[in-house]
Structure 1
Amino acid sequence: MLVIRPITAADLPALLQCAEESGHGFTSLPVNDEILLNRIKHSEESFAKAVTKAGPEGYLMVAEDTETGEIAGTTAIEAAIGLDNPFYTYHLSTVVHSSRRLNVHNAVKVLTFGNDYTGVSELCTLFLRPEWREGANGRLLSKCRFLMMAEHPQRFDNTVIAEMRGVSDENGNSPFWEWLKQHFFSIDFTLADYLTGIGKKGFIADLMPKLPIYVNLLSPEAQAVIGEVHEKTRPALRLLEKEGFTCRGYVDIFDAGPTVECDVRNIESVRHSQLCRVEIGLPGKGSECIISNTSFEHFRAVAGTVGIEGEAAVISAEMAKALQVQDGDQVRLITQ
């Protein structure tokens, strides 16, 4: 059984392994011991902190195999992005150039550089190691965050976003970045992505074009990937779309991958989650659920069979142990 729990300093080697396996374009997991350790420390401080309003807290969690102790993946939420370091995006919109006198009417797409998502909450750092990509594991890593948001809404903003990894090849080359590199940056995508991941974003403000970019002036290869996702990211995007997330034209400034968003109150798993009273026993056929305890500092979530009987959730002793709950405690759950 996999259990989602807050990360600790002892998980650094496993987090580094996840960073190495995640590949190019995974900005939130740079292969850097010092950066990852600092992120773990920040997460530990954030989980222990009393919060009444979303701030610069970051909540990083891991999926642990309860039998072997092996770490299968990671998942995280940033409570309010862009407060300590700027959060940049491009917004894709349409402008019209027309002349009635000449009977000319052209609608063209433009990319506008900005910080429109400052202060919103972000779903990030979802990575499941290849050997664990089966069953409900991916849904558990993703949906456990919605149970956390439903139970502790004061810690998060009303708007939640998720950046989807854009198109790049096996060597980390992005067609969109290749155009930017040629005209403005003169550094490789992998270096730019790494510098962003370790928080050194000053080069973006220094070199990024400030005026809107007309999309039809980009190379055909760059135009083709705007708003498109990496093939390995498509399952994550489909899951978020089922939750109610949509793209409103915002894309990543490096690989042009889409950013999707949703009002937290409209996220399907938040809306349909329910609080139940624990009864430890045999759940029988039951329902397949994602279930969490109601603690924040000691948050736990698992996937499995739950017997839902009115306001009671009948769970096995193994599940109760993983969730650190006893008879009569409350849990929050959603059916898969």
Structure 2
Amino acid sequence: MSFRMRAARGKDLQALYEMAKLTGGGFTNLPADRASLAAKLARSEAALGRDDASLGDDLFVMVLENTNTGEVRGTCQLFSQVGRKWPFYSYRIGTLTQHSQELDRTFRADMLSLSTDLEGCSEVGGLFLHPGERAGGLGLLIARSRYLFMRAHRARFADRTLAELRGVIDEAGGSPFWDGLAGKFFGMNFQQADAFNAIHGNQFIADLMPKHPIYTAMLPENARAVIGAPHPSGRAAMRMLENEGFRFENYIDIFDGGPTMTVETDRIRSLADARDDTIVAIADGETKALVATGRLAEFTACYAQIDEREGGIAIDAGAARRLGVKVGDNVSHVPRW
């Protein structure tokens, strides 16, 4: 396989822009706006240039590269800590129970409360794989490389990590959840709100959204039906997150109602199971693994065939070439699923 993950660079702007146009909307971290993407790349390069062990307001952008052609065919992002520049809003699903003695009945009502509970978490997001490459485990390569990057720079990330999954979007590009709730207070459709949020942030939510809880029973049926449901194209991503230890804990996105998954960072499976070893031989191996090397802007990761040897591991020549490693270099590795 000729693919590897690496840190994004300024020259990747056009490739990211072309992929952003393929997302179909509702993909806040990858807006089809060149200026916004350029700003993300600049912010990522600044974060990659800061070589210290403090937790800041960093964004790291990574890309999936075909080393045979040089084409960028996928991407993902890591945020070191959300809620630093402006509040990080979610809806928290709760239940209010009330009892009437006169009627001898108990009523339980689901409610949505605007919340900033998840402020301070790290976030993994912006994962997109070009439709022409959705085979061969490349989605997993993108997703799991993020956790090896976090492991290599653990002090730069928080103790809890979240992932927001895109919610249900209809064939017209609208959101039943937005139309049934927030759209009634903002005078703009979902596409307009999503585009504004991607470029300017969500402070306008704090300015205009009512602060009192919302009873879900008051929402239209089509809006209630999608609360906490991922977009059909995101179901595989949700399974990948669950395999890593992420769980849905009743937080949803304020725009499209998609689920927010959370996990203790040190319990992320790929991060916890990874090992460090020295390369002692360049040779074909029997064990399929994800291997990473380098720090910050030099970070790379790819699939490899490895074998345990005395004093370290052997790695196949193709992977060694993609990673730019040789005998005596240190790498991190975790078994491939």
| TM-score, normalising length: structure 1 | 0.96
Task: Name 2:190's counterpart in structure 1.
Answer: 189
Task: Name 2:222's counterpart in structure 1.
Answer: 221
Contact 1:160 1:263 in 2 (8 A): yes
Label 1:191 to 1:129 Cα distance change in 2 as closer, same or farther (>3 A).
same
Aligned runs of 1:97-136 on 2, under 5 Å?
97-136=98-137
Letter paired with 1:74: T
Question: 1: distance between equivalents of 2:311 and 2:166?
Answer: 40
Structure 1 residue 104: Cα displacement: 2.3
Task: Name 1:73's counterpart in structure 2.
Answer: 74
Cα RMSD (Å) of the superposition?
A: 1.4
Structure 1 residue 311: Cα displacement: 5.2
Contact 1:181 1:187 in 2 (8 A): no
Contact 2:87 2:203 in 1 (8 A): no
Say if 2:299 is the partner of 1:299. Answer: yes
Task: Name 1:320's counterpart in structure 2.
Answer: 320
Unaligned runs of 5+ in 1: none
Structure 1 residue 333: Cα displacement: 0.8
Contact 1:280 1:317 in 2 (8 A): no
Task: Name 2:22's counterpart in structure 1.
Answer: 21
Structure 1 residue 301: Cα displacement: 0.3
Post-superposition Cα deviations, 1:100-122, rounded to whole Å, max 9, x if no partner, equal: 34422111100000211111100
Letter paired with 1:309: R
Structure 1 residue 279: Cα displacement: 2.9
Letter paired with 2:154: P
1:297 aligned counterpart, secondary structure: helix
Question: 2: distance between equivalents of 1:293 and 1:264?
Answer: 20
69-78 or 317-326, which deviates more = 317-326
Structure 1 residue 146: Cα displacement: 1.0
Question: 2: distance between equivalents of 1:311 and 1:212?
Answer: 59
1:221 aligned counterpart, secondary structure: helix
Question: 2: distance between equivalents of 1:172 and 1:86?
Answer: 26
Question: 1: distance between equivalents of 2:61 and 2:13?
Answer: 12
Structure 1 residue 310: Cα displacement: 5.6
Aligned runs of 1:145-294 on 2, under 5 Å?
145-181=146-182, 183-284=184-285, 286-294=286-294
Unaligned runs of 5+ in 2: none
Label 1:182 to 1:134 Cα distance change in 2 as closer, same or farther (>3 A).
closer
174-183 or 9-18, which deviates more = 174-183
Overall identity of the aligned pairs, in %? 35
Letter paired with 1:276: D
Question: 2: distance between equivalents of 1:310 and 1:75?
Answer: 36
Question: 2: distance between equivalents of 1:101 and 1:53?
Answer: 59
Question: 2: distance between equivalents of 1:273 and 1:157?
Answer: 19
| TM-score, normalising length: structure 2 | 0.96
Label 1:48 to 1:189 Cα distance change in 2 as closer, same or farther (>3 A).
same
Letter paired with 1:290: L
Structure 1's consecutive aligned runs of 4 or more residues displaced over 6 angstroms after TM superposition are: none
Contact 2:182 2:209 in 1 (8 A): no
